[in-house]
Amino acid sequence: MLKQHSRISSRWHGNWRRKARLLLPAKERRNSLSKAKVLRDQSITEFGMPSLEHKHPGAILEKNFNQDIAVIERTAYEKGFSAGEEAGYVVGEEKALMLLERLEGIFTEMKELKKKVLTEVQPQVFALSMAMARKILRDEIRQNPEVIINLIKAAMEKIERTGTITIKINPALKELISDHKPELLAIHPEIRFDTDPSIPLAGPLVVGPEEEVITDFESQLTNLLEDLGEDIGNNNA
C-alpha cells in the first residue's frame, strides 16, 4: 500500500509540475526550459566524461620516442658531415697536386717550344737584321759620302806605316778621294791610289807593306752579325 501510494504521489506531483509549466507565460516557460537544460548540462559536466587535460601514457611514450629519433638523426648527420668534410679535404688536396703537376708540364712544354721557335726563326731574324742594317748604312753613305774617307783614315792608322800604302777604290769614288787627298797624305805621305771596278763602292781596300784592311762596311756588318748569331745560338743551347 505504501509503495503504491508513493507511486501515485510521485505521478501526481509530476503531472502537477507539467501543468504548472503550461500555465506559465510562454517567455517564462522558455526560461524555465533553458534553466533545466543548463542544470542538466552542469550535471553532465560535473559527472560526465573525464577531463581531456590528462595525458595518456602512450602519447608521452610517442613523444619521447620522437625525441630519441631526432637526437639519433642529428648525431648521424654530424658524424656524416665530419667524415664528408675530411674526405673533401683529401679530394681537394689530390686535385691541387694534379693541377701543380699539370702546370709543371705546361711550363716544360713552353720552354721546349721557346727553344724550337728560336731555332727555326733565328735564321729569318738574322737575314732580316742584315737587310735592315745594310739599307741604313747605304742610305747614310749616300747622304754623307765623307763616311768613306773616315773609313780609309781608320784603316791607315791600323796598319804599319813604313812604306808605300796602296788604296784601291771604285772608279766612282775618284772625285771624292781627290777632294780629301790632303787629309790622307797627312797621315802617311807615301800613298798610291788604284781604281778597280770590282771593289765595292763603299768598301775601299787599304794595303800596307805586310797587311791589308777591308773597309767594306757590308762585310764588316756580316761578320759582326754572324758573331752575334753564334753567341745567340750558344746561349740557346
Phi, psi of 169 (to 5 degrees): -135, 160
Closest CA to 134 of 202, 199, 233, 196: 202
> Is 167 in contact with 192 (CB distance < 8 Å)?
yes
Which stretch of 19-23, 68-72, 184-188, 192-196 has the lowest confidence by average pLDDT?
19-23
Q: Is the pLDDT of residue 37 over 50?
A: no
pLDDT at 69: 67
pLDDT (tens digit per residue) in 123-161: 777 778 778 877 887 787 788 888 888 888 888 888 888
Percent of the chain with pLDDT over 90: 9
Q: Is the pLDDT of residue 3 over 70?
A: no
Q: Is 29 or 141 the better-scoring residue by pLDDT?
A: 141
What whole-number distance in Å separates Cα of residue 1 and Cα of residue 237?
Answer: 146
- How far apart, in Å, are the Cα atoms of 190 and each of 109, 176, 209? 65, 19, 11
pLDDT band at 77 (very low <50, low <70, confident <90, very high): low
> Is 211 in contact with 220 (CB distance < 8 Å)?
no
What whole-number distance in Å separates Cα of residue 61 and Cα of residue 55?
Answer: 11
Contacts of 118 (CB under 8 A, 6+ apart): 232, 236
User: Computed from CA positions of residues 60, 64, 67, 69, in that sequence, does the dihedral angle turn out positive or negative?
Assistant: negative
What whole-number distance in Å separates Cα of residue 58 and Cα of residue 63?
Answer: 9
Q: Is 221 or 236 the better-scoring residue by pLDDT?
A: 221
16: amino acid identity, one letter: W
pLDDT (tens digit per residue) in 179-234: 999 999 999 899 999 999 988 887 888 998 888 887 777 777 777 766 766 555 55
Q: Is 208 or 10 the better-scoring residue by pLDDT?
A: 208
Q: Is the pLDDT of residue 75 over 80?
A: no
What whole-number distance in Å separates Cα of residue 226 and Cα of residue 131?
Answer: 13
Q: Locate cell 509503495: which residue? A: 3
